[in-house]
Chains A and B, each alone.
Chain A
Amino acid sequence: MSLGAPYSFSHLAVVPAYNEAATIGGVVRTLREHAPDFDVLVIDDGSTDGTQVVAESAGARVVRHPFNLGIGGAVQSGFSFALENGYDYMVQVDGDGQHDPGEINRLSEAMDEDPRLDMVCGSRFLTKDYKYPSPISRRTGIHVFAFLVSRIVGQQVSDPTSGFRLFNRRAIAVFARDYPHDYPEVEAVLMLHYHRLRMREVPVRMFVRGGGVSSISSGKSVYYMIKVLLAIFVGLVRARPVVEPGDEAPVAAAGGI
Chain B
Amino acid sequence: MSLNFQLLAIAASAGLLLVVLELVRRRRFLERYALVWMGCALALLALAAWRPGLELVAAVLGIAYPPTALFLVAGGFVGLLLLHFSIAVSRLTDQTKVLAQRLALLEERQRQSEAPGVPAPAAYRPQAAAARPPGGERDQVGRGRER
Contact = CB atoms under 8 A, between A and B. Distances in A.
Give the secondary structure class of B's interface: helix
B97 A66 contact: no
Contact of B108 (A53, A63, A257): A63
A57 B125 CA distance: 13
Interface residues of A, number: 32
Contact of B97 (A56, A57, A73): A73
A253 B95 contact: yes
A69 B125 contact: no
Contacts of A84: 105
Interface string A30-63: 0000000000000100001010110011000111
Contact of B101 (A50, A73, A253, A256): A73
B105 A6 contact: no
A237 interface: no
Interface residues of B, number: 27
Given A1-B117, A6-B116, A257-B87, A66 B100 contact: yes
A67 B101 CA distance: 10
Nearest to A73: B97
A17 to B, nearest CB: 13
Interface in B85-128: 87-88, 91, 93-95, 97-98, 100-101, 103-105, 107-108, 112, 116-117, 119-120, 124-127
A43 B101 CA distance: 10
A52 B120 contact: yes
Nearest to A49: B126
Given A66-B104, A77-B101, A256 B88 contact: yes
B84 interface: yes
Nearest to A257: B84
B137 to A, nearest CB: 14
B104 A250 contact: no
Interface string B36-71: 100000000000000000000000000000000000
B81 to A, nearest CB: 11
A127 B124 CA distance: 43
Contacts of B97: 69, 73, 181
Contact of B105 (A56, A77, A251, A257): A77
